[in-house]
Chain A
Amino acid sequence: MITAERKPLDEILALLGDAKQVLVAGCETCVAVCLTGGEKEAEILASELRIKAKEDHRKLTCEHTSAIRQCEWEYLDMIAEKVGEYDVVLSMACGIGIQSMAEKFAPKLVLPAVNTNMLGMPQEHAVWLERCVACGDCRIGLTGGVCPVVRCSKSLMNGPCGGSHDGLCEVRHDNEDIECAWALIYERLKAQGREELMLEERPPKDWSLSSSGGPRKMVREEAKPV
């Protein structure tokens, strides 16, 4: 799933400037599941903004709404009327949802209230781990189901660097240890009896299939309406 974290209130206030009519728009899909931008969180943010405006003696009309999915046109139609009543939309959807809103309701000012951070897996309640970068060229069939592109800090394709120690990466994130992806790959391949895959030389990755190739487009001709 796509995960996101809410921006700090000060950053949101700076983005809003002197906006007088603000609609906070949640999204009921990924950002709701990761407890960041669903209807409940949109309601809370709208309350925070109203309280802050009151404290600062500013006039502000601020309500909230939520779309089933901000990334699909038909769900945006369902909130179009409400959006029309406000000068500014503060979207709590992922980057896809925010851009869909901005495009659908252009030139209305649509601002992000969250930072979209990863394609993550819920490891346990309230904990998500990055598992995919959508590189467009999946190799995990050769790496025991562990992605070295995103889980190795250096995206190595040919085994662990010299910094792998006790199953851990030399890099730490937010002062926490990270597992060495290649140690995990090796252990998984051994358990599968396929450790000889470690010896094969993997060629350079084709990054043109990732965002390095420019914005990507997928078309399923067979699914298009005739």
Chain B
Amino acid sequence: MSKTTSLKAGSRLEKILAEGTFAVSGECGPPKSADGSVIAEKAKLLTGYVDAVNITDNQTAVVRIASLPSAVIAQQNGMEAILQVTCRDRNRLAMQADILGAAALDVKNVLCLTGDHMSFGNHPQAKGVHDLDSINLIRMFKDMRDEKKFQCGDEMTVEPRLFIGCAENPFADPFELRVHRLRKKILAGADFVQTQCIFNIPKFKTWMEQVRAEGLHQEIKILAGITPIKGAGMAKYMKNFVPGMDVPQEIVDRVASKEKGEPQQAEGKKLAVEMIKELAEVEGVAGVHIMAVEWEPAVPEIVEAAGLLPRPVVN
């Protein structure tokens, strides 16, 4: 079987990872308005610097342009999308309908998430759907793709060709469960995983040791999460208030040791570059996922300084 026919979706991201090239994905949060040009601009900014970009799905439970139309806008502007789908806002009917639409519109990468809880967002009175969890979601999309079956068992004529992703947080508790959970996601059908942003590299390496001990790095493509820190305030906020984040004090101190503004931003970018280089050396890490939250302009510089240019051209 040739390499092309063994691809599940044939997305740029999948091809790059299949070739064993170190992949770079980015992130784009749609705007809190009907202004689609924001997505187009972010897509253009990142083109040539990342291989594909996550399009978030009402991130932090705040209403934004939906991830599917945003993904289409990004792709119309030359940037391959990774469609985020959360279980918080839609049930199995809606998620299957959306993924059929995504495939029909040539969106090939999907990231299956549980979703941030409603209480963190701007509609805390909303009813959380949570019909499925993220592992059910992965399995449902895999069965649609590989078995041509809907979750109910009904058959379809044309299946959605998908490169299925998941997230994992090596810094959440119980720590010993985190690798088991990744294995569960692999067994359910995940092809790639993007991790929570990494600041505590020793802990990430411990997690990777467990991943390698179980051979999971050979069964799934692992993209290590990176978030450039824009300033000491952001570092402190992430350390103290963002669920599931592990930001060591020395990281906060290092950024805070510089003058506010440009010097702290420069230090944040420098730190991101150092971390990418260190993570790239970890056996089993197949790429990085750069989440520059509302700081997309920093990405090209970081990717370049990390020596990850030029990005590969794939057919």
Q: CB within 8 Å of B: which residues of A?
A: 153-167, 170-172, 180, 182-183, 186, 198-199, 201-205, 207
Contact = CB atoms under 8 A, between A and B. Distances in A.
Contacts of A198: 177, 180
Contacts of B169: 162-163
Using C-beta atoms within 8 Å of the partner chain, give the interface range for chain B. Answer: 35 or more
A154 B173 contact: no
Closest 3 A/B residue pairs (Cβ):
A162-B169, A170-B243, A158-B135
Nearest to B243: A170
Given A171-B117, A183-B173, A162 B133 contact: no
A170 B241 CA distance: 10
A56 to B, nearest CB: 32
A170 B88 CA distance: 15
A171 B120 CA distance: 8
B180 A204 contact: no
Contacts of A164: 172-174, 244
B196 A162 contact: yes
A208 B274 CA distance: 51
Nearest to B86: A154
Contacts of B114: 154, 156, 161
Interface string B136-157: 1001100000000001000000
Given A154-B88, A155-B130, A159-B177, A204 B136 contact: yes
A204 B117 contact: no
Contacts of A165: 172-173, 243-244
Contacts of A158: 133-136, 181, 184
A121 B140 CA distance: 36
State the majority secondary structure of interface residues on A: loop
Nearest to A156: B133
B82 interface: no
Contact of A162 (B87, B132, B136, B172): B172
Contact of A153 (B117, B139, B188): B117
B121 to A, nearest CB: 12
B168 interface: yes
Interface in B86-100: 87-88, 92
Interface string B5-24: 00000000000000000000
Contacts of B88: 154
Nearest to A167: B173
Contact of B151 (A162, A166, A182, A204): A204
Nearest to B246: A165
Contact of A199 (B92, B117, B132, B183): B183
Given A158-B184, A201-B187, A204-B151, A163 B243 contact: yes
B136 A171 contact: no
B188 A201 contact: yes
A207 B244 contact: no
Contacts of B136: 157-158, 202-204
Nearest to B140: A204
Contacts of B119: 153, 171-172
B219 interface: no
Contacts of B128: 153-155
B173 to A, nearest CB: 5
